[in-house]
Structure 1
Amino acid sequence: MSQKGRAHEPFKLLEGDISYVNLTQLEPGEVAEVMKKAQGTRAIVFDLRGYPRGTMDLLAPYLNVKGAKIGARFEVPLVAGSSLVNGRAVLMQDLATADVPVYRGRTVTLIDAGAMSAAETMGLMLEATCGTTFVGSPTAGANGDMTYTTLPGGIWMSFTGMGTLHPDGSQLQRKGLTPHVAVRPTLAGLRAGRDEVLERALQVLKVPVKPAAAAGPATR
Structure 2
Amino acid sequence: MKKTFLLLILICFSFNHLIAQQRISDTEKLASIGKIYGFLKYYHPEVGKGKYDWDKEFIKYLPQALEASDKESLSKIYSNWINVLGNIEKCKNCVSDQLLFDKNFNLFWTQDSEIFNAELKAKLKYIEENRFQGENFYVTTEPVGTIKVTNEPVYQNFSYPSEEYRLLGLFKYWNIIEYFYPYKYLTDQKWDSVLTEMIPKFRSASNKEEYQSLVKELIAKLDDTHAWISFDNEKSKYLPVKISNIDNKAVVSGFYNDSIAKINNIKLGDIILKIDDLEIQKETEKKSKYIAGSNANIKIRQTYNEILLGKNSALTLTIDRNNQIEKIKVNRYNFDDFEYWDNPTAIKTKSINEKIGYVNMASIKGADVSNIFKSFKNKKTIIIDLRNYPASIYKLLSKYLNSEKRDFSKVYSPNMDYPGKFRYKENLQTGIKNKNNFKGKVILLVNDESISKGEFTAMAIQTADNVITIGNQTAGADGNIVVFEYIGGYKTAISGLGIMYPDKTETQRKGVKIDIEIKPTIEGLKQGRDEILEKAIELGSE
Q: TM-score, normalised by structure 1?
A: 0.84
Q: Which residue of 2 aligns with 1:125?
A: 460
Contact 2:412 2:499 in 1 (8 A): yes
For residues 131 and 176 of structure 1, the distance between their equivalents in structure 2, rounded to whole angstroms, comes to 21
1:48 and 1:201 mapped to 2: Cα distance? 13
Structure 1 equivalent of residue 152 of structure 2: none
Aligned residue in 2 for 1:139: 474
Question: Does residue 58 of structure 1 match 2:370?
Answer: no
Cα distance in 2 between the residues matched to 1:25 and 1:100: 28
Instruction: Give the structure with higher Rg (CA).
Output: 2
Closer, same or farther: CA 53–87 of 1 in aligned 2, 3 Å? closer
Return closer, same or farther for 1:2/1:52 CA change in 2, 3 Å cut-off. Answer: farther
2:386 equivalent in structure 1: 48
- Structure 1, residues 35-80: CA drift from partner, whole Å, max 9, x if none? 1111110111111101112221211110003x23322111112024
Alignment partners' CA distance in 2, 1:93 and 1:131: 20
CA distance in 2, matches of 1:89, 1:44: 34
Q: CA RMSD in A?
A: 2.2
- The one-letter amino acid of 1:166's match is Y
> Would you say the 8 A contact 1:145–1:160 is kept in 2?
yes
Q: Alignment partner of 1:203: what SS?
A: helix
Q: Is the 2:402–2:465 Cα contact (8 Å) retained in structure 1? A: yes
**Pairing 1:98-117 to 2, within 5 Å after superposition:** 101-117=436-452
Partner of 2:500: 165
| Superposition map of 1:1-220 within 5 A | 2=254, 4-5=256-257, 7-65=345-403, 67-80=404-417, 83-84=418-419, 87-97=422-432, 101-207=436-542
Over the matched positions of the two proteins, sequence identity in percent amounts to 25
Contact 1:44/1:108, CA 8 A, preserved across alignment:
yes
Alpha-carbon distance in 1 for matches of 2:449, 2:359: 17
Mapped partners of 1:90, 1:19: distance in 2? 36
Counterpart contact for 2:348–2:360, Cα < 8 Å: yes
The one-letter code of the counterpart of 1:167 is P
The structure with the largest strand share of the pair is: 1
CA distance in structure 2 between the partners assigned to 1:89 and 1:107 by the alignment: 30
Pair 1:3–1:11, CA change in 2 (3 A):
farther
Taking the aligned partners of 2:452 and 2:392, their CA distance within structure 1 comes to 12
- 1:123 to partner: Cα distance: 0.7
State the Cα distance separating 1:99 from its structure 2 match: 6.5
Residue 218 of structure 1 corresponds to none
> Structure 1: which 5+ runs fail to align?
208-220
Q: Secondary structure at the match of 2:460?
A: helix
Contact 1:45 1:107 in 2 (8 A): yes
The whole-number CA distance in structure 1 between the counterparts of 2:393 and 2:422 is 33
Shift in Å, 1:130: 2.8
2-structure distance, mates of 1:30, 1:98:
21
Deviation, 1:86, is 6.2
Instruction: Give the 3-state SS of the residue equivalent to 1:35 in structure 2.
Output: helix
1:136–1:184 CA contact under 8 A, matched in 2: yes
List alignment gaps of at least 5 residues for structure 2. 1-252, 258-342
CA contact (8 A) 1:44 1:105 kept: yes
Higher helix share: 2
Q: Residue 87 and residue 109 in structure 1: after superposition, are their counterparts in 2 closer, same or farther (change >3 A)?
A: closer
Partners of 1:173 and 1:145 in 2: how far apart?
Answer: 12
CA distance in 2 between counterparts of 1:29 and 1:2 reads: 28
32-41 or 5-14, larger mean C-alpha shift: 5-14
Change (3 A) 1:95 1:188: same
- Runs ≥4 residues deviating over 4 A: none
* Partner amino acid, structure 2, of 1:201: A
Work out whether residues 137 and 178 of structure 1, in 8 Å CA contact, stay in contact via their aligned partners in 2.
Answer: no
Partners of 2:375 and 2:255 in 1: CA distance:
22
Contact 1:72 1:167 in 2 (8 A): yes
